[in-house]
Amino acid sequence: MLSSTLCRCGKEGFYLRRHSGEILCKRCFVKSVEKIVLKTIKRDKLIIPDDQVMIALSGGKDSVVLIHILSKIERSYDTALFAITVDEGLRGYREEGLGLAKRVAEKLGIKHHVITFKEAYGHSLEQICKFAEEKGVGLLGCTFCGILRRRLLNDAAMKMGATKVATGHNLDDEAQTILINILRGDISRLARLGTKPIRLREGFIPRVKPLRYVPEREIATYAYLKGYPLYERECPYVRASLRDEVRDLLNNIEARHPGTKFAIVKGADRISDLLKEKIEESEVGRCSRCGAPSGREVCRMCEVLSMLGIDGSFINHLAE
């Protein structure tokens, strides 16, 4: 029962924000999303003056909205922005996102780079997945794609002098990850998940998530209002995963109890704030193979490469 269908500014309502009951016109909706992002950046000091921010730009709606909003604040923050797209080499999947990423960056006047699995690891993800199948490695493609992609982003950020890596993770992503960590009892990861940039450790560039408090639905709506195409091609290697189940569960609960996703993320923030000092940061040494900083004897990238029978000896630029 809505007593009015008008925005508080008097214009016709366009968006009903269910968890707060607000009705927003198009203009107030756009402003409100931007305000949430700016508030997050300020409050948690995600970006500070003189930061060199590398945006991970896949071409999907989240990263497109992220670069759009960051480009608006670039000047007032006196930061330098540049974007990077990881091309893992999946034909019929990556091309569209890559093209979109290029066009968006160009339109916004932001420098854009592409880095490829093929160049970094000697093989495309397509080939890597074939190796995994042949070797009977019982891991989802997403697992090693994630490990190899994160390493690539960090290496690129190091080389290009970035001081922050910004990713487009939204409220839904974060709530899902929190729940998955709870289901796995992985409290250390939960503690590291908070919004604030993880304290700088040599060799790791802090990752920040300015869209962490914006629901996926609002990002999609923002992208639509800004005229960006909704590119949502699914990775051909996606399999039914725990994340899918958790996503469905959360959407079902959110529909009946609006605000659940927020409650989860805010709750995890409190846990993270309280636990960060307590959880012993594992002493960060260096991977014995590639020399990258790692809490393990052999870093996860080297582990994955050796599982797949890929020679990683040429990857030594971080040992320098």
The one among 33, 37, 264, 304 contacting a copy of itself by CB under 8 A: 264
Give the dihedral sign, CA 189/191/196/200.
negative
Q: Nearest approach, Cβ of 265 to a copy of itself (angstroms)? A: 8
Q: Nearest approach, Cβ of 145 to a copy of itself (angstroms)? A: 21
Binding span for a copy of itself by CB under 8 A among 29-37, 141-149, 176-184, 292-300: 176-184
Q: Which residues are within 8 A (CB) of 34 and not within 5 positions of it... i.e. 6 or more apart?
A: 69, 72
The one among 279, 298, 307, 310 contacting a copy of itself by CB under 8 A: 279
Q: Rule CB under 8 A: is residue 9 a binding residue for a copy of itself?
A: no
Helices (H), the chain: 26-43, 61-77, 94-108, 117-121, 125-135, 141-159, 171-183, 187-192, 216-225, 242-256, 260-275, 300-307
Binding span for a copy of itself by CB under 8 A among 84-92, 154-162, 183-191, 226-234: 183-191
Q: Nearest approach, Cβ of 73 to a copy of itself (angstroms)? A: 29
Q: Nearest approach, Cβ of 101 to a copy of itself (angstroms)? A: 35
| Contact between 237 and 117 (Cβ < 8 Å) | no
The one among 263, 296, 314, 319 contacting a copy of itself by CB under 8 A: 263
Nearer to a copy of itself, 131 or 262 (CB): 262
| Contact between 53 and 81 (Cβ < 8 Å) | yes
Q: Which residues are within 8 A (CB) of 282 and not within 5 positions of it... i.e. 6 or more apart?
A: 295
Give the dihedral sign, CA 148/153/157/159.
positive
Q: Nearest approach, Cβ of 251 to a copy of itself (angstroms)? A: 12
Q: Rule CB under 8 A: is residue 171 a binding residue for a copy of itself?
A: no
**Distance (Å) of CA 62 to CA 53, 189, 282:** 16, 23, 32
Binding span for a copy of itself by CB under 8 A among 31-39, 44-52, 163-171, 245-253: 245-253
Count of residues near a copy of itself by CB under 8 A:
30
Cα–Cα distance measured from residue 217 to residue 249, given in angstroms and rounded to the nearest whole number: 16
| Contact between 97 and 85 (Cβ < 8 Å) | yes
Cα–Cα distance measured from residue 295 to residue 188, given in angstroms and rounded to the nearest whole number: 13
Q: List 6's β-bridge partners, or say none.
A: 12
Binding span for a copy of itself by CB under 8 A among 139-147, 215-223, 261-269, 294-302: 261-269
Q: Nearest approach, Cβ of 252 to a copy of itself (angstroms)? A: 7
Q: Rule CB under 8 A: is residue 245 a binding residue for a copy of itself?
A: yes
The residue to which tokens 């989240």 are assigned: 62
Characterize 74-92 residue by residue with b for buried, 16 or more Cβ atoms within 10 angstroms of its Cβ, and e for exposed: beebebbbbbbbbbbbbee
The one among 50, 78, 186, 232 contacting a copy of itself by CB under 8 A: 186
The one among 158, 160, 182, 225 contacting a copy of itself by CB under 8 A: 182
Binding mask 193-232 for a copy of itself (x = CB under 8 A): ----------------------------------------
Q: Which residues bind a copy of itself (CB under 8 A)?
A: 178-179, 181-187, 190, 242, 245, 249, 252-253, 257, 260, 262-268, 270-271, 274-275, 278-279
